[in-house]
Structure 1
Amino acid sequence: MTATAEKQKLSPAPDIGDLLFALIIAIPLMGRPTFLFQDGSTGWHLVTGEYILKNHAIPHDDIMCYLDKIPGKADKAWVAYEWLSDTIMAGLVQLGGLNLLAVVCSCAIGLLFLMLYDRCRKEGCHFLIVLVASIFGIIASAVHWLARPHLFTFFGVLIFSGALEDYYRRTISSTKLFLILSLYMLVWVNCHPAFIVGFVLIGIYLVASLCSAAFYGPGTKRKGYLDSAKTFAIALAATFGASLINPNGLVLYQYIEKYLKGSTVLANTEEFMSPVFHLTIHPTCLEALFALFVVGLAISLNRLSFPRLLLCLAFSHLALSAVRNIPLFTIIVLPAIAQLYAKVRLAESYRIPQIVTADDASQIEGTPANLAALSRAEAVDFRPESLESESTPSTLWQQIAGKFEKIGTEFDETERQCKMHLLPILLFVGLSITAMMGGKIAGMPLLESGFDPEDKPTKTLEYLQKAEADGQLKYNQGFNLDNWGGYVKYKLGTPVFIDDRADFYGESYYSQYAIINQVLTFPDGKPGWREWLAKDNIQWVLVQKDSRLAQALKSEDGWKVAAEDPASVLIVHEKPY
């Protein structure tokens, strides 16, 4: 059949991947409209993007904090390494508000799993196994679904790992590999600092190829592995060269290195902590993925390539080290699981023996020549004598395995025609138009995405804005929760005490913040929380209602609650220090 005829047979009906896409976007857009905006740091990304769109320039000095002198910093120099993603986010908000940003981020996550589903199916895995594994992966990775630049890293890991494995199998050329990796690196390096992961992925394939070459003696296999290693080395150099095309050049690497050395701050950041496996759904689904992977290794007749196995092990470690890495592990492990379950020992052991016709037998190498002379109507039974009397499976497992395989085969034939992906396209276009129309259709609200008033300051910000306008309070005399800093700046437009850019503030300043926020005192004369508040002349504090600092200030002489809402409390200082 020609390619044209095959194309004409395509059906507009959705496949499983399309339905997963619809399910995924329904969660943050319809089920939980605040889901993507749980993290207040989305605010400072939007502030940065707005600055770039307004000034047509990338900021090289801080635009968030009001303190001119931060311990350990001679100036307020800041590397906005996510400038491109910040600009895209701010541009979307200008076009359609937070609703449009939510639509694009949701559809991006949906597209990610649609691509993953298609990748898994190409491995030859049964659609039901891919569906179950995908659902586990979706739920596990949802722990880090946020309207933030790290979505570009999700796609980077998918694109890099897929292209590297394809070349390792020789299903794509080295030229295509270089183009895919280099072009995406141009985007990745300007959108998220985890572009470094791309080098790690290439490095694993390079090291695996060298190790494999060392294992074999002189010959064709060794030469093949050495050729692969050479290609991966060139790919590494090419992507590194592409990564230098950013506004900061090599300075970006120095900045990231300095940030990663701030281990104390990172260790106390929630998303950098290990997952807690105590009856919570995301880690439970992560465990399910581990189980599927380990069982697959035990029963599969397919062998993972050495670098793919190393990738799975490396990203298993990352997922157990930090919650934010769970989606990356999901992206790596799902195609590996699909490859393992595409051919398993149990299914092969109980596969129903086939009745071979003369036509079929004539094609089998080693079949006696006179077999072809048999009548076309005759059949040759190659089954063992013990099975000659059995025309149907005799055990429950054989019946289940046979039915399972039959369902998969029939479904495969149907799904091959359902690759137009009209449903995702229509959903994206329709929801985007709705967002740009204010989230309403015929006056009825359909989209209401945004920050959660139960989790972020609302009434306290209204009071603070009015008090600042009236001159009762000054923005540069306040203290705020670090994760709310970007949100407060986004809402009020005024500089804040701190936000959660640990790379900018450094450990010394964060230590000062922690002393105040955790209400710490020291018997050796080291400044405690009261001394730091006085030193910075803090006149108002905006923190969580049930925080230790809020409770301490409520009982402290000279402090008074000015406003509160479900999430926050604003406490002002009424006496001079």
Structure 2
Amino acid sequence: MSMDSTTLHQAKALSLGRALGQILGRIPAWLWLGAGVYVLMLVNGSALLNDSDTYWQIAVGQWILDHGALPRVDVYSFSRPGEPWISSSWLAQILYAVSYNLAGWTGPVVVAAGAIAATFALLAHILERRVPAVYAALVALVAMVLSTPHLLARPHVLAMPVMVAWAYGLMRASERRQPPSFWLLPLIALWANLHGGFVFGLVLAGAFAIDALWNAEPSQRRPLAMRWLVFGLGALAACCVTPYGWESMLASRRILDLGELLRLISEWAPADFGKLGAFELTILALIAGALYRGIVLSPPRIALVLGLLHMALAHGRNLEIFALLLPIVVLTPVSRQLVLQPAWPGRARLAAVAPLMVALGILTFPLAAHQAYAPAKGDSPAAAVEAIKAHDLRRVLNDRAMGGYLIWRQIPVFIDGRAELYGEKFTMAYYNALELKDVGQFLGLLREHEVDGLLLRPGAPATGLLDHLGGWRRVYADDAAVLYVRGGS
């Protein structure tokens, strides 16, 4: 090759490199953060499947696809057959079922990873409008750390970006002393079809309406209140744009009526500060920062902050709501009082965004191909289920965490993660019986429901009794499950 030819190739390579650099340089920081979160979620994809409820979520989605209808009664348990039950997360369940049919467990992982990445990219994008990009990325990453325990391939993660966009739209309207745009209504309608948490979206609308009225001139408050009221009624109507209509709101309410039971379900349990963790450190850092810099909030914003904090302290599953929405609630007053300069990323051009999106799409295949995605073995007692089928058991009293897998394997369950179906009284009786707080209650439960088998965790209190109780025998055991059948001595 001649010197001129070599020089020409070098010049072309340099020109191409500069062009690529210019394209990548136009990609805003929030998109890079979203890309990084997406890759991180794929690399650790099995962690997104660490919840047995994912099994029954996909099973319900598949049932909907197979029947071309939505469930209105329970078809999965033998303890509550025919009991009224609706699936307010039907759209998310279909998305997970379709993705599983297309790519096995990789499908739900990719869908969940994409929603999670979109959530934190959107949060960083919102923050960059008021603060430097470095601060925006740092806050978004802290929010992700706090949310990590609840980042799972379940319907709520698909609703998270919708929640963030909805809250931001309300905040902007409030700060402009205007009612929100009616273009926000499709957002809460989508939320209502993805997850039952949409009811909180209505609460947010009321909270930001009060904030708007607080900031408005006295002469403008009455007409502004009427316009927010009209929007609120529109939002309420949009929440009913589901196959179940207003029943979706009633179903969401039943979760909050579970009383004492919520303390026993890990994701609904209150915060535990017995050990120093990320949540406590974040709260302490926020208090220290507010005291040191003298941050002042209006009474409505203070009420919002305290409300979000109360929710996170009361129920662990609300921690991601606190982490995602607190930065939005305090964004404007904090940025103004600290005189922070916004990143002002503006709108990313398609020419800048497209290469990153294409690259992530291409990267998905090799990343997923080298990962063995699968739910936790402890929630997937495959061998024990084969033993259930071998003994032709029809009424197996199961450990609650195994209910999702049994539904997945088309075995009628005694109980599963659908707490709103079983209710507080039934589920508390189940827990008390299996903990042997009342042996008579445990034996009565077996008789009442004509149980012919029990599938329990090794070491569960009831296993010690069954091993010495006449009329039951252990037929299978491994590290994940123990199976008992009626009969023997």
TM-score w.r.t. structure 2 length?
A: 0.85
Question: Aligned equivalents of 1:518 and 1:189: distance in 2?
Answer: 37
Question: Aligned equivalents of 1:257 and 1:344: distance in 2?
Answer: 39
The answer to whether the 8 Å contact 2:74/2:80 transfers is no
Equivalent positions of 1:443-454 (< 5 A) are 446-454=370-378
Shift in CA distance, 274/258, structure 1 to aligned 2, threshold 3 Å = closer
The answer to whether the 8 Å contact 1:10/1:417 transfers is no
Match of 2:119 in 1: 112
Question: Aligned equivalents of 2:335 and 2:135: distance in 1?
Answer: 9
Which is worse superposed, 39-48 or 246-255? 246-255
Match of 1:473 in 2: 392
- In structure 1, give the amino acid aligned to 2:200: V
Match of 2:11 in 1: none
Are positions 1:247 and 2:243 aligned together?
yes
Match of 2:74 in 1: 62
The answer to whether the 8 Å contact 1:488/1:496 transfers is yes
Cα deviation, residue 337, structure 1: 5.3
RMSD of equivalent CA atoms: 3.1
User: Which of 304, 312, 319 is the equivalent residue of 1:319?
Assistant: 312
Cα deviation, residue 421, structure 1: 4.0
Q: What SS class does the counterpart of residue 34 from structure 1 fall into?
A: helix
The answer to whether the 8 Å contact 2:112/2:158 transfers is no
Q: What SS class does the counterpart of residue 64 from structure 2 fall into?
A: helix
Question: Aligned equivalents of 2:448 and 2:83: distance in 1?
Answer: 20
Equivalent positions of 1:57-206 (< 5 A) are 57-67=69-79, 75-123=82-130, 125-170=131-176, 174=179, 177-180=181-184, 182-206=185-209
The answer to whether the 8 Å contact 2:55/2:404 transfers is yes
Cα deviation, residue 233, structure 1: 1.3
Structure 2 unaligned regions, length at least 5: 1-19
Q: What SS class does the counterpart of residue 183 from structure 2 fall into?
A: helix
User: Which of 319, 329, 335 is the equivalent residue of 1:342?
Assistant: 335
Question: Aligned equivalents of 1:273 and 1:188: distance in 2?
Answer: 24
Question: Aligned equivalents of 2:347 and 2:388: distance in 1?
Answer: 59
- In structure 1, give the amino acid aligned to 2:392: L
- In structure 2, give the amino acid aligned to 1:142: T
User: Which of 416, 420, 423 is the equivalent residue of 1:499?
Assistant: 416
Question: Aligned equivalents of 1:160 and 1:23: distance in 2?
Answer: 24
Deviations 1:443-500 (A, max 9, x none): xxx23222011453232223334x1xxxx232x221111222122211x122211112
The answer to whether the 8 Å contact 1:259/1:503 transfers is yes
Are positions 1:461 and 2:378 aligned together?
no
Are positions 1:24 and 2:37 aligned together?
yes
The answer to whether the 8 Å contact 2:396/2:454 transfers is yes
Question: Aligned equivalents of 1:336 and 1:126: distance in 2?
Answer: 17
Equivalent positions of 1:298-313 (< 5 A) are 298=291, 304=297, 306-313=299-306
Structure 1 unaligned regions, length at least 5: 1-7, 70-74, 214-220, 349-404, 441-445
Q: Greater share of helix residues, 1 or 2?
A: 2
- In structure 2, give the amino acid aligned to 1:503: E
State which structure, 1 or 2, has the greater radius of gyration over its C-alpha atoms.
Answer: 1
TM-score w.r.t. structure 1 length?
A: 0.73
Shift in CA distance, 423/272, structure 1 to aligned 2, threshold 3 Å = farther
Q: What SS class does the counterpart of residue 516 from structure 1 fall into?
A: helix
Deviations 1:224-277 (A, max 9, x none): 444443332121110111112222223333343344322132232111111222
Cα deviation, residue 432, structure 1: 5.3
Cα deviation, residue 339, structure 1: 4.1
Deviations 1:482-535 (A, max 9, x none): 222122211x1222111121111223322332233212326xxxx421232233
- In structure 1, give the amino acid aligned to 2:376: D
Match of 2:252 in 1: 256
User: Which of 432, 446, 471 is the equivalent residue of 1:533?
Assistant: 446
- In structure 1, give the amino acid aligned to 2:176: R
